[in-house]
Amino acid sequence: MRNNHEIDYKIYGEELQFVEVELDPQETVIGEPGGFMMMDDGIEMQTIFGDGSQQHNSSILDRLMNAGKRVLVGENLFMTAFTNMGQGKKKVSFAAPYTGKIICLDLQVLGGTIIAQKDAFLCAAKGVSIGIAFQRRLGTGVFGGEGFIMEKLDGDGLAFVHAGGYILEKELKPGEILKVDTGCVVAYTPTIDFDIEFIRGIRNWMFGGEGLFFAVMRGPGKVWIQSLPISRLASRIIQYSPQLGTRREEGSILGGLGSLLGGDR
């Protein structure tokens, strides 16, 4: 038995996806502003403070504090609730903001809580709480790629997150370690121990082009990895656009020479 609204869904597309959520009468799904794509007649939109998880049984101050948490993780102060006010099942769809994959996280199956990168949340069943999670270690927060504050999804309903490229789900056994590029971590269960590790060897971090740190994920628990962080995609677009920047080839030493050989100068 779930406390959050029970919703059905279907994900469409390959590289640029959208998720279609099916609502029974009086069921509600909450979505990020700007994520809405289309909906059937009979669904009512309502702008709400925060995530709507405490709309009926909390004070105005609690609602403001709950909404304020979203500002800290870089999200909008408001969210949009879509409720089926008609007869029979109705559908509403939410689109991914850039190329990548949408994944469904069943919080009831995953233990009730997921820690996710900022801007990953797309939509969720009403009742799911979208709050903040502070990194326990200062080094992880400063150098961990997503900052000191991350997003925390709580509840027992379905939540949908989006990330770039392909998303790989890995389950780590107790004590098992996975080293990941800091920008590639999408989400993980709170049982995962998340730390950072300095890349050894001066040549590795000066000329390797992979940054200074690994994200070290220690099991037990599940972790979701993206193959193309949006920051990496944006930097490549700028790098290869004549209007936005000067093209540089792979490798920091041969950048200028590579441009000459490539006919850019």
- Mind listing the pLDDT tens digit for each residue in 62-116? 666 665 665 665 566 788 999 999 999 999 999 998 889 999 999 999 999 999 9
Measuring CA to CA, how many Å separate 131 from each of 50, 52, 66, 68, 118? 9, 12, 7, 9, 11
Q: For position 179, what pLDDT does the model report?
A: 92
Q: For position 218, what pLDDT does the model report?
A: 95
Does residue 146 register a pLDDT over 70?
Answer: no
Lowest mean pLDDT among 120-134, 156-170, 230-244, 246-260: 246-260
Does residue 31 register a pLDDT over 80?
Answer: yes
At 43 the three-state DSSP class reads: strand
Asked whether the beta carbons of 35 and 83 are under 8 A apart, the reply is: no
How does residue 138 score in pLDDT terms, banded at 50, 70 and 90?
very low
Percent of the chain at pLDDT above 70?
Answer: 70
Domains belonging to the chain, first-starting first, are: 8-165 (3.60.160.10)
Asked whether the beta carbons of 84 and 24 are under 8 A apart, the reply is: yes
Lowest mean pLDDT among 155-169, 175-189, 201-215, 243-257: 243-257
How does residue 137 score in pLDDT terms, banded at 50, 70 and 90?
low
Percent of the chain at pLDDT above 90?
Answer: 46
Give the Cβ contact number of residue 181 at 10 Å.
17
Asked whether the beta carbons of 162 and 120 are under 8 A apart, the reply is: yes
Lowest mean pLDDT among 56-60, 167-171, 175-179, 181-185: 56-60
| Residues 169, 54: Cα–Cα separation, whole Å | 31
Span 110-125, average pLDDT: 92
Overall size of the chain counted in residues: 265
Name the CA radius of gyration of the chain, rounded: 21
Buried b vs exposed e over 85-120: b needs ≥16 C-beta within 10 Å? eeeeebbbbbbbeeebbbbebebbebeebbbbbebb
Span 168-174, average pLDDT: 96
Lowest mean pLDDT among 60-74, 105-119, 183-197, 226-240: 60-74
Better-predicted residue by pLDDT, 252 or 55: 55
